[in-house]
């Protein structure tokens, strides 16, 4: 079967779903092709902290009603060093900004529901998705669904299919440059229906390794501990995990911690990754398809949202005003923000985790930096303004110093 849309969107994660909703609000047609089932997509447990800019985009997309009813605004978070706690007062340090705790799972459900209510084309279980003619003016996507082959003609393709998707892999290796850092540990996460041990998040640097106390609601907690690579979940029964959390988060948090059976438990590796450029011809990458951050600082989902905010704005400018400048500069503008979030996530990971090759000097440096933050309002402000999220438009219009820019982007074919 042959179909047509203005923007073909690959992937129904937060990036793809939010993009199609933002385009719909602006009167632009799109179709979302997702490899997995709706049940699978809706049950993935991932991020939980939203920047104000992300909340603003969800409002613009018209799907923020439940988020405002059920989300938990947070004005600060704590950092612990071997049990000693210090509060970063984000609200005061950033002139009134805060973040919102609301699970990625809930955003995904809200977005899918909005699509289904308006009868939008959102196809789950689309297999063998392949992208064609990205360099030309008539790109198209082929896929198999219900034992039949389909072809989707479009003006543009948005590659929102995550780190392992087909979109980035469709860009010729000669054009794509990747930057990567793999960390020598992972996060073991647990979700449990128990009240959180604190009303704010606690990031803890402990001799046994990093720990994080987070939440999804007043009755649902999310905790993480740093574990070595290759760790087996079988070695982490709930009791061991709760004991380790109590130790790493410090006595105060441990006394308030309510233990309960895990309803989800998994280990995620930590990685920093950026692919440049984020555009090839008529394909635009957004979210995890183009970059990955370690979860320390909760930037992954927020970066996916800011990418699609920029991409939606560029597509609206093309369709409404016939102006292509924002499409042409999308990659450079998105990357300018991506790299700053990569830097923050990398730095915050380095500050709070125990690295296997860290010697006494390294540990003293980490301790000195944390103490400096505890004592210096200027250092706290740097941390707070990154945590609440840097502006969507940083004033960087994509100008690169000679010799350090992304590889040449092929010119956009005429419409
Ligand atoms: P997603 O969410 O990975 O969605 C991509 C979608 O594309 C689909 N897909 C395809 N569809 C069609 N054809 C193909 N060939 C396809 N290949 C893939 C996938 O099934 C999926 O539905 O990317 P998106 O939308 O860019 O959103 C990014 C965020 O999901 C991500 O940055 C965060 O969740 C990262 N992340 C976390 N971020 C945080 O800020 N805090 C966290 O605590 C946190 N925990 C996590 C995470 C990511 C994880 N992953 C990816 C393993 C925990 C995990 C386990
Ligand atoms: C989470 O609640 O899943 C979470 C919160 C903060 C982070 C990472 C993950 O930095």
pLDDT at position 352 over 60: yes
151 assigned to some structural domain: yes
**Which pLDDT belongs to residue 82?**
85
| Atom 3 of ligand 1, nearest CA residue | 162
- Please give the Cα distance from 373 to 86 (Å, whole number): 9
Please, are residues 213 and 198 in contact by the beta-carbon 8 Å criterion? yes
Whether the ω angle into residue 277 lies within 30 degrees of 0, i.e. cis, is yes
201 lines ligand 1 (CB under 6 A): no
Range with lowest mean pLDDT among 54-63, 179-188, 397-406: 397-406
**Could you tell me which residues are beta bridge partners of residue 73?**
100
Q: Does the beta carbon of 48 lie inside 6 Å of ligand 2?
A: yes
Does 159 contact ligand 1 (Cβ within 6 A)? no
Per-residue model confidence (pLDDT) at position 83: 81
Asked which of 31-35, 170-174, 185-189, 400-404 is least confident by mean pLDDT, the reply is: 400-404
The CATH number linked to 319 is: 3.50.50.60
- Residue 242 CA to ligand 2 center (angstroms) comes to 17
Confidence of residue 412 (pLDDT cuts 50, 70, 90): very low
pTM tops 0.85:
yes
C-alpha 391, offset from chain centre = 16
At 65, list the tokens: 């009603």
Percent of the chain with pLDDT over 90: 92
Instruction: Report d(CA 397, CA 400) in Å as an integer.
Output: 9
- 111 has a pLDDT exceeding 90: yes
Structure tokens, 189: 């996460």
Q: Mind listing the pLDDT tens digit for each residue in 274-326? A: 999 999 999 999 999 999 999 999 999 999 999 999 999 999 999 999 999 99
- 104, 190, 224, best to mutate for ligand 2 pocket (most atoms within 8 Å of CB): 224
Using a 6 Å cutoff on CB, does residue 108 contact ligand 2? no
For the CA of 299, the closest atom of ligand 2 is: 10
Whether the pLDDT of residue 204 is over 70: the answer is yes
User: Using one digit for the tens of pLDDT, what is the confidence trace for 149-199?
Assistant: 999 999 999 999 999 999 999 999 999 999 999 999 999 999 999 999 999
What confidence tier does 394 reach under pLDDT thresholds 50, 70, 90?
low
Is 222 within 8 Å of 190 (Cβ atoms)? yes
Closest atom of ligand 2 to 189 CA is 3
> Residue 380: its pLDDT value, please?
98
Reported as a pLDDT band with limits 50, 70 and 90, residue 254 is very high
pLDDT tens profile 133-150 = 999 999 999 999 999 999
User: Is there an atom of ligand 1 within 6 Å of 13 CB?
Assistant: yes
In which element (H, E) is residue 140 found? strand 140-145
d(CA 235, CA 166): 35
Asked if residue 186 belongs to a domain, the reply is no
What is the model's pLDDT at position 47? 84
Mean pLDDT of 90-106: 96
Q: What is the pLDDT of residue 196?
A: 97
Q: Is residue 10, in this structure, part of any structural domain at all?
A: yes
Q: How many residues does the chain have?
A: 415
Taking 70 as the threshold, does the pLDDT of residue 411 lie above it?
no
Q: Which residue has the higher pLDDT, 406 or 63?
A: 63
Q: How far is the CA of 296 from the centre of ligand 2 (A)?
A: 7
pLDDT recorded at residue 215:
96
Give the ligand 2 atom nearest the CA of 222.
Answer: 2
Q: 393 versus 101: which is more confidently predicted?
A: 101
pLDDT at residue 353 above 90? yes
Pocket test for ligand 1, best of 9, 12, 13 (most atoms within 8 A of CB): 13
- pLDDT greater than 70 at residue 402: no
Residue 289 belongs to some domain of the structure: yes
Does 196 contact ligand 2 (Cβ within 6 A)? Answer: no
Cβ-contact 112, 42 below 8 angstroms: yes
Check pocket membership of 49 for ligand 2, CB cut-off 6 A: yes
**Beta 30-33 vs 177-192: how paired, if at all?**
unpaired
Residue 111 inside a domain? The answer is yes
Measured torsion, CA atoms of residues 334, 337, 343, 345, in degrees rounded to the nearest 10: -90
Please name which ligand lies nearest the alpha carbon of 214. Answer: 2
Q: Please report the pLDDT score of residue 414 as a whole number.
A: 38
Smallest CA-to-CA distance from 327 within 357, 297, 283 is with 283
In a domain, 201, yes or no: no
% helix / strand / coil in the chain, to the nearest 5? 40, 30, 35
Task: Answer yes or no: is 31 within a domain.
Answer: yes
Q: For the chain, count helices (H), then strands (E).
A: 14, 21
The answer to whether the CB of 296 is under 6 A from ligand 2 is yes
Domain that holds residue 68: 2-74+97-180+271-352
Beta bridge partners of 150: 143
**Nearest in space to 158 (alpha carbons), one of 337, 305, 309, 16:** 16
Of 160, 159, 210, 145, the C-alpha closest to 349 is 210
Instruction: Kindly state the tokens that stand for 161.
Output: 């299919």
pLDDT at 231 over 90: yes
Task: Round to whole Å and give the CA distance between 114 and 112.
Answer: 5
3-state SS, one letter per residue, for 176-237: CEEEEEEEEEEEEEEEECCCCCCCCEEEEEECCEEEEEEEEECCEEEEEEEEECCCCHHHCC
Residue 395: the pLDDT is 53
CB 165 within 8 A of CB 174: no
Rounded CA-CA distance 277/76 in Å is 35
User: Which whole number is the average pLDDT over 242-268?
Assistant: 96
261 belongs to a structural domain? no
227 phi, psi to nearest 5 deg: -130, 155
Is 90 exceeded by the pLDDT of residue 368? Answer: yes
- Number of domains forming the structure of the chain: 1
User: Which residue, judged by its Cα, is nearest atom 1 of ligand 2?
Assistant: 48
State the catalytic residues: 74, 203, 295, 299, 387
Helix (H, G, I), strand (E, B) or coil at 87: strand
**CA–centroid distance, residue 354 to ligand 2 (Å):** 18
């Amino acid at each position: 079967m042959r179909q047509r849309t203005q923007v073909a969107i690959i992937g129904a994660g937060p990036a793809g779903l939010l993009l199609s909703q933002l385009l719909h609000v602006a009167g632009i047609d799109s179709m979302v092709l997702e490899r997995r089932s709706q049940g699978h997509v809706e049950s993935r447990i991932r991020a939980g902290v939203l920047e104000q800019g992300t909340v603003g985009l969800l409002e613009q997309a018209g799907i923020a009603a439940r988020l405002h009813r059920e989300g938990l605004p947070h004005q600060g978070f704590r950092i612990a060093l071997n049990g000693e706690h210090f509060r970063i007062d984000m609200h005061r340090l950033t002139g009134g900004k805060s973040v919102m705790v609301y699970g990625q799972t809930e955003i995904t459900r809200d977005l899918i529901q909005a699509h289904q209510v308006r009868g939008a084309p959102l196809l789950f279980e689309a297999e063998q998705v392949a992208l064609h003619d990205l360099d030309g003016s008539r790109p198209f996507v082929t896929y198999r669904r219900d034992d039949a082959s389909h072809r989707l003609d479009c003006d543009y393709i948005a590659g929102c299919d995550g780190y392992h998707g087909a979109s980035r892999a469709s860009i010729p290796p000669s054009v794509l440059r990747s930057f990567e850092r793999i960390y020598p540990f992972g996060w073991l996460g647990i979700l449990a229906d128990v009240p959180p041990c604190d009303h704010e998040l606690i990031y803890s640097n402990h001799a046994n390794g990093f720990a994080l106390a987070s939440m999804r609601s007043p009755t649902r907690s999310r905790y993480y501990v740093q574990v070595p690579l290759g760790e087996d979940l079988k070695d982490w029964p709930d009791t061991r995990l709760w004991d380790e959390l109590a130790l790493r988060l410090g006595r105060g948090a441990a006394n308030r911690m309510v233990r309960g059976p895990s309803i989800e438990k998994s280990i995620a590796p930590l990685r920093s990754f950026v692919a440049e450029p984020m555009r090839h011809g008529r394909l635009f990458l957004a979210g995890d398809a183009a970059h990955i951050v370690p979860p320390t600082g909760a930037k992954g989902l927020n970066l996916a949202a800011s990418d699609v905010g920029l991409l939606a704005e560029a597509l609206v400018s093309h369709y409404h005003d016939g102006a292509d400048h924002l499409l042409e500069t999308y990659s450079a503008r998105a990357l300018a923000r991506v790299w700053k979030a990569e830097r923050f996530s990398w730095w915050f990971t380095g500050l709070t985790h125990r690295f296997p090759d860290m010697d006494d000097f390294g540990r003293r440096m980490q301790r000195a930096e944390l103490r400096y933050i505890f004592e210096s309002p200027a250092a706290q402000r740097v941390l707070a303004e990154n945590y609440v999220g840097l502006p969507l438009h940083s004033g960087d219009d994509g100008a690169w110093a000679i010799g350090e820019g992304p590889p040449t982007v092929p010119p956009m074919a005429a419409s």
